Structure 1
Amino acid sequence: MSEMTAWRRHFHSHPELGFQEQKTAARVADLLENFGVETHRGIGGTGVIGILKRGKSDRSIGLRADMDALPIHETSIRDYRSVTDGVMHACGHDGHTAMLLGAAQTLARGGGFDGTVVFIFQPNEEHGLGAQAMIRDGLFERFDVQSVYGMHNLPGLPVGQFATCTGPITASESLFEIAISARGGHAAMPHMSVDAITVGAELVGSLQTIVSRKLDPGQNGVVSVTGFTADGGRNILPGNAVLTGDARALTPAATRAIEQRMRQITDGICAAHGVTATVSFDTCFSATINAPGPTASAVHAAISVVGEDAVDAACAPKLFSEDFAHFAAARPSCFILAGNGTEGANGQPLHSSDYDFSDDLLPVGAGFWVSLVRRGMSP
């Protein structure tokens, strides 16, 4: 516990953004080597892989933790707050890394399994690029990973509780941009122009009907316009406007439906006003899909650590996104959520400037990893 807390707080104090995790990766690799774990550096840029073999079985399991931080200025006054201005661990990746290191140390010292554990320390989860980088760098060709597991802390859920489900567990994320080309003019003579703001405002309202009126109610989805810019002035009606936003869905079919309806609505409103628009729709995160077998294994491991009453094996899917989805698409997998607490900094939303990972979760999460390995590859 004391070692994991020290590691976690060191990582918290020295956060690094995606693909810049040089010092974090070096410390992770050094610790793994000190534990006696075979270590591979520079996988997918700044990723680290640890290999621990015991016995003669050809069974294998992959355990993943993410290492990157966020471009957020930390507002806490804790003595281990970020020393890098404008960068902080606001999502708990410092804790994820420390828990997996704790599990690696325990398994290296105590064994208790027959097979191979592949410890995956991933860079750049926040922008959805790290998992693909590691896969392109031969992660699954160079290292035998028969199934892979990921864990994320969840503020609002008490420490000592777990939640997961079979099927979709986190949503896809698609970023969209709608660029409107209208006809600017004098604010006193609107009849001689086509105001891009008027067209854009109509689009903002109509896009909300995609989920409320055009998506199957059985399919979850979110469409949010998060930016609206135009080139108007003090007495100038804008001729150009750009809407940007974010769409979430739990299935590829729902994602396709959202994109199709967005393009139809844009075409229809623009045609009605005699203007044109271009729509870009980029799915940067796919939905994370949990496989039945690994999910059952994760549930049993969690129960062995915290008891049956503290494990929700059929939780509602979450509409945030997770880069682990790329691992889940490549190998049978399970992504599980672990309670981070309900009060104070531990209960603040992820990506908040005053959020903090709960040190009380460290032994719970590390214990889960150890139990998953020993139960899944018992001698």
Structure 2
Amino acid sequence: MRQQLMAKLEAKQDRIIEIRRYLHAHPELSFQEENTARYIADFYEGKDCDVKTNIGGHGVVVTIDSGKPGRTLAIRADFDALPITEETGLPFASENPGVMHACGHDGHTAYMLILAETLIEMKEQLTGKIVVLHQPAEETPPGGAIAMIRDGCLDGVDHVLGIHVMSTMPTGEVAYREGAIQTGRAAFKVKIAGRGGHGSSPHMANDAIVAASEFVLAVQTIISRRLNPFDVGSITIGSFDGKGSFNVIKDAVELEGDVRAMTEETRVLIEKEFRRILDGLAKMFGITYDLDYKNDYPVLMNDENLTAFVASSLQDANIPEITTIVRCEPQPPSEDFAYYAKERPSSFFYVGAMPANGVCYPHHHPKFDINEASLLIAAKAMGTLVADYGDYKEE
């Protein structure tokens, strides 16, 4: 089956690229992907599978039932874009101003559609069921995964697999890692309020900018002085809204930021210390504060046994387009695939997509692009795991 599947995917490579380019030109933001969801659902029209739409919002869930006993494997691809103005100059660049596929989700959807079509054509050679999760809203909390799970997308599912193409990894490289593979995340907004006044009379005011500046420095001591040096965490102040007049002491400042951690214990510790510092600043500077602190995506935990299966299956397959299979370091960004991994044993791995000229831009950059050769690699890699899944043994 594996050889036949690989040959069919090779024959459809041009269609994968065609779909990717269409989706790239027509991006939609998280929670607004109506046309993309319709495109995906229409793709399956007339095919021998069960299609459910409006799952967790704009999600599409496709079930390929072999009619034979066996386990159920879910394979996931996301399809939302980002609020970025594209600067690639590609002939198929975004036609939606201020919206861009700057993370590769167009490629995820393209390879998955053609892989699913091919699996449907070969369903008599499968066992159990394959559930294709076309997921919206990966980029924006609370994310699309958690809503799809609430709508039952994992009902009857035994395991979940996912791929992300990576522009910063060489094309031909596939990377995996067991355990904690991507950070958990929190986001915060805090308003620090003092008492405004004239710049000539600071003693009659209570300067919110001074207190907020102390806060910016103090929260970094959580990472340097409260975390175990072997733990991973970061706090970023991404916005400091203190603009005013040169001779006016502001009465309030608003800050927004981002927190990352590699364990749930670290994430809890950071939030505790974060609030403690604000309480201390309130006493030190005589200010008040209003805090909105939201934990969203959990730490992404790859199941050890399933990830070992991923690595060994791909190594045994000898896919010619895959030149290297490596155990990588954990990745700093967060990923809402983590919600699936909390519910079922799962594995999320990476396919290199560096452009052939070696000039690469990171994900979420206005000049981000991928090597389209990576899409066939992704289809073959995921297809191999589907083909071998019947032989997977849990320890």
SS at match of 1:151: strand
Greater displacement, 336-345 / 360-369: 336-345
- Is 1:25 paired with 2:42? no
The structure 2 residue matched to 1:324, chosen from 328, 337, 341, is 337
- Is 1:94 paired with 2:126? no
The structure 1 residue matched to 2:130, chosen from 102, 117, 125, is 117
Matches within 5 A, 1:213-228: 213-228=225-240
Q: Compute the displacement of 1:232 (Å).
A: 4.0
Matches within 5 A, 1:1-379: 1-111=13-123, 112-128=125-141, 129-141=143-155, 144-230=156-242, 232-303=244-315, 304-306=317-319, 310-313=324-327, 315-341=328-354, 347-377=360-390
Distance in 2 (CA, whole Å) between partners of 1:153 and 1:318 is 13
Distance in 1 (CA, whole Å) between partners of 2:303 and 2:59 is 25
SS at match of 2:238: strand
Alignment check: 8 A CA contact 2:31 2:57 kept: yes
Distance in 1 (CA, whole Å) between partners of 2:279 and 2:356 is 47
Greater displacement, 369-378 / 85-94: 369-378
Distance in 2 (CA, whole Å) between partners of 1:271 and 1:344 is 57
Distance in 2 (CA, whole Å) between partners of 1:306 and 1:288 is 27
- Paired residue type of 1:299: A
Alignment check: 8 A CA contact 2:355 2:371 kept: no
Distance in 2 (CA, whole Å) between partners of 1:243 and 1:30 is 44
Greater displacement, 81-90 / 223-232: 223-232
Alignment check: 8 A CA contact 2:138 2:145 kept: yes
Deviation track 1:172-228 (CA, whole Å, cap 9, x = no partner) reads 111112221212111011122221111111111111111122111111011001111
Distance in 2 (CA, whole Å) between partners of 1:209 and 1:288 is 26
TM-score, scaled to structure 2 = 0.90
Alignment check: 8 A CA contact 2:196 2:249 kept: yes
Q: Compute the displacement of 1:58 (Å).
A: 2.6
Identity of aligned residues (%): 36
SS at match of 1:225: strand
Distance in 1 (CA, whole Å) between partners of 2:243 and 2:326 is 50
Alignment check: 8 A CA contact 2:209 2:253 kept: yes
Alignment check: 8 A CA contact 1:53 1:117 kept: yes
SS at match of 1:371: helix
Greater displacement, 343-352 / 353-362: 343-352
Alignment check: 8 A CA contact 1:68 1:124 kept: yes
Q: Compute the displacement of 1:300 (Å).
A: 2.3
Alignment check: 8 A CA contact 2:185 2:258 kept: yes
- Paired residue type of 2:266: A
Deviation track 1:147-173 (CA, whole Å, cap 9, x = no partner) reads 011111112111111112111111111
Alignment check: 8 A CA contact 1:301 1:368 kept: no
Distance in 1 (CA, whole Å) between partners of 2:391 and 2:255 is 54
SS at match of 1:83: coil
- Paired residue type of 1:31: F
Distance in 1 (CA, whole Å) between partners of 2:375 and 2:389 is 21
Deviation track 1:77-102 (CA, whole Å, cap 9, x = no partner) reads 21111111111111110000011112
Alignment check: 8 A CA contact 1:18 1:125 kept: yes
Change in CA separation of 1:301 and 1:100 when aligned onto 2, cut-off 3 Å:
farther
Distance in 2 (CA, whole Å) between partners of 1:231 and 1:83 is 35
Distance in 1 (CA, whole Å) between partners of 2:74 and 2:345 is 10
SS at match of 1:280: strand
The equivalent residue for 2:3 is none
Q: Compute the displacement of 1:276 (Å).
A: 2.2
- Paired residue type of 1:138: G
SS at match of 1:139: coil
Q: Which runs of 5+ in 2 are unaligned?
A: 1-12
Alignment check: 8 A CA contact 2:52 2:62 kept: yes
Q: Compute the displacement of 1:305 (Å).
A: 4.8
Alignment check: 8 A CA contact 1:345 1:356 kept: no
Change in CA separation of 1:305 and 1:19 when aligned onto 2, cut-off 3 Å:
farther
Distance in 1 (CA, whole Å) between partners of 2:334 and 2:208 is 32
Q: Compute the displacement of 1:109 (Å).
A: 2.2
Alignment check: 8 A CA contact 1:149 1:334 kept: yes
SS at match of 1:222: strand
